[in-house]
């Protein structure tokens, strides 16, 4: 056999043209260049709907049709092929998804038990010699029979006489169709796939007085599906769709936020069943193995409120404790209303919201982040940014009584003193929230409380600058 009739490849790479595959298949092959449009709807939880429209020549009667460059993570059972041509009929009789892609290892595996040619190059003279070999195994390396000896490893380059027809250089969906219509036909292939994901990221800049924020939203698209989607119409579904189950630098983020043009087109939004559908304003190319960001929203001067919160634990009230926690953490929250009157009023997809605040030099500094769930219009967004440094608390149990009687309900009486320390140069207000289970009542207290829920009492405690305030109360619990 002449060397020119062989297909050669090195261990590091393999090069094949699409025509070689097409001729081997002897069917109608539709490459991505036939594509007239593509639309991608991306859901949460690694799921997307692809609608791939192509124009190609198709013979009347029974024929095989191969769609190249489909997603490598296509769910073949969801594929739907239909004709867009008027007065044409298309019936799919059979379909196969060929995901056994051509790689040096796959090619070697297909030739187990068959003969190949080993080509060696003399390092001194550059002369090449050929030797026939039989591939005995391709698992965890290669085992070859060359003449009367067995060798492991590849002592040179391997030349193969041809490419097995089942190996594809690109993910391909092959269908057997019955077609009746014009020679030139427009077809649409739709399918569900994995490997396409989106998430929302938000950047919020807190005002110097901490009473307003500027908010920017970004959609991050990630494509690991195994193919590209050029000039695609992209739509995003926000919501938890039921299925049958089988950090960026602060300076860069703020520059993006400040550079957004107020009049630039933002994604449009509409209701879809009980979800929300966002349509990007312009076609975009989602390249293979690419992450890209697209602007989602921009709003300025949204009224906001900072809150310092000290939260207790329900077990405090069921026993006697000699040493309660010292220097308890006071949490820092920022919240705002997602309303039109607050200069927002948009359904917000779930995602990470990062908050920045400018220092005295005007440089935006990162001050915390939190995850938000899908947030409808007119709801409240509440972000936990961290724990306060200069505001702390000490808790002491000053009394405990077990008032329970045999064969009756458990009754306990507890008294506490919570001292709030403020090392800041300005006064602060701390919300003290105590979870109280069972049937409870406050017997006495140094400041009035509010019953914020059936199982929570709350106090608003004003603490002077560089000062302390002690909240005292006695509570009776009945279980």
Could you read off the pLDDT of 182-206 as tens digits, one per residue?
888 899 999 999 999 999 999 999 9
Beta-carbon contacts of 271 under 8 Å, excluding residues fewer than 6 positions away, are 277
| pLDDT recorded at residue 190 | 93
| pLDDT recorded at residue 19 | 35
| φ/ψ (deg, to 5) at 342 | -100, 15
Beta-carbon contacts of 125 under 8 Å, excluding residues fewer than 6 positions away, are none
| pLDDT recorded at residue 265 | 60
| pLDDT recorded at residue 424 | 93
**If 0-12 CB within 10 Å is exposed, 13-18 middle and 19+ buried, where does residue 243 land?**
exposed
Beta-carbon contacts of 75 under 8 Å, excluding residues fewer than 6 positions away, are 191, 192, 193, 194
CATH number of 306-340+378-478: 2.60.40
| pLDDT recorded at residue 454 | 92
| pLDDT recorded at residue 466 | 96
| Residue 400 · residue 444 · CB < 8 Å | no
Counted residue by residue, the chain has a size of 479
d(CA 370, CA 269): 24
d(CA 424, CA 241): 47
Residue 95 has, within 13 A of its CA and on its CB side, a CA count of: 17
| Residue 338 · residue 381 · CB < 8 Å | yes
Domain boundaries, the chain: 3-30+47-101+167-193, 104-160, 196-305, 306-340+378-478
| pLDDT recorded at residue 279 | 86
| pLDDT recorded at residue 111 | 83
Looking at 260-380, list the stretches that DSSP marks H as alpha helix, in order from N- to C-terminal side.
Answer: none
pTM of the predicted protein model: 0.66
| pLDDT recorded at residue 169 | 65
Cα–Cα distances (Å) from 366 to 254, 389, 437, in that order, read 10, 15, 38
Sites in the chain below the pLDDT cut of 50: 1-26, 247-264
């Amino acid at each position: 056999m002449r060397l020119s009739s062989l297909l050669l490849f090195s261990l590091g790479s393999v090069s094949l043209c699409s025509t070689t595959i097409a001729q081997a298949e002897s069917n109608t092959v539709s490459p991505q260049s036939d594509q007239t449009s593509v639309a991608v709807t991306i859901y949460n939880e690694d799921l997307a709907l692809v609608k791939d429209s192509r124009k190609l020549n198709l013979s009347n009667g029974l024929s095989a049709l191969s769609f190249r460059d489909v997603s490598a993570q296509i769910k073949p059972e969801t594929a739907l092929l239909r004709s867009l041509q008027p007065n044409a009929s298309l019936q799919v009789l059979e379909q196969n998804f060929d995901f056994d892609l051509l790689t040096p290892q796959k090619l070697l595996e297909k030739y187990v038990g068959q003969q190949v040619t080993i080509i060696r190059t003399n390092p001194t003279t550059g002369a090449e010699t050929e030797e026939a070999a039989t591939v005995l195994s391709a698992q965890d390396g290669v085992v070859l029979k060359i003449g009367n000896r067995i060798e492991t490893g590849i002592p040179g380059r391997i030349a193969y006489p041809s490419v097995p027809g089942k190996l594809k250089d690109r993910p391909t969906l092959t269908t057997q169709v019955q077609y009746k219509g014009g020679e030139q036909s427009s077809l649409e292939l739709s399918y569900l796939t994995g490997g396409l994901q989106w998430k929302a990221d938000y950047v919020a800049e807190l005002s110097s007085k901490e009473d307003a924020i500027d908010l920017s939203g970004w959609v991050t698209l990630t494509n690991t599906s195994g193919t590209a989607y050029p000039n695609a119409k992209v739509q995003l579904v926000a919501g938890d769709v039921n299925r049958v189950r089988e950090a960026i630098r602060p300076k860069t983020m703020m520059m993006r936020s400040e550079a957004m043009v107020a009049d630039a087109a933002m994604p449009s939004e509409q209701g879809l069943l009980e979800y929300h559908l966002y349509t990007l304003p312009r076609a975009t190319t989602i390249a293979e193995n690419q992450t890209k960001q697209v602007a989602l929203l921009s709003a300025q001067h949204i009224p906001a409120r900072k809150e310092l919160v000290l939260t207790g634990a329900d077990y405090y009230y069921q026993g006697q404790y000699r040493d309660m926690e010292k220097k308890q953490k006071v949490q820092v929250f920022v919240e705002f209303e997602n309303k039109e009157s607050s200069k927002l009023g948009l359904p917000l997809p779930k995602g990470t919201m990062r908050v920045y605040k400018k220092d005295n030099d005007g440089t935006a500094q990162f001050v915390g982040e939190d995850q938000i769930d899908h947030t409808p219009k007119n709801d409240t967004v509440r972000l936990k940014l961290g724990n306060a440094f200069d505001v702390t608390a000490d808790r002491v149990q000053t009394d405990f009584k077990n008032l329970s009687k045999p064969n009756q309900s458990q009754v306990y009486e507890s008294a506490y003193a919570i001292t709030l320390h403020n090392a800041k140069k300005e006064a602060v207000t701390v919300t003290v929230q105590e979870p109280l289970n069972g049937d409870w009542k406050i017997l006495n207290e140094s400041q009035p409380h509010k019953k914020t829920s059936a199982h929570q009492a709350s106090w608003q405690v004003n603490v002077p600058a560089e000062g302390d305030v002690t909240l005292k109360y006695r509570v009776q619990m009945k279980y």
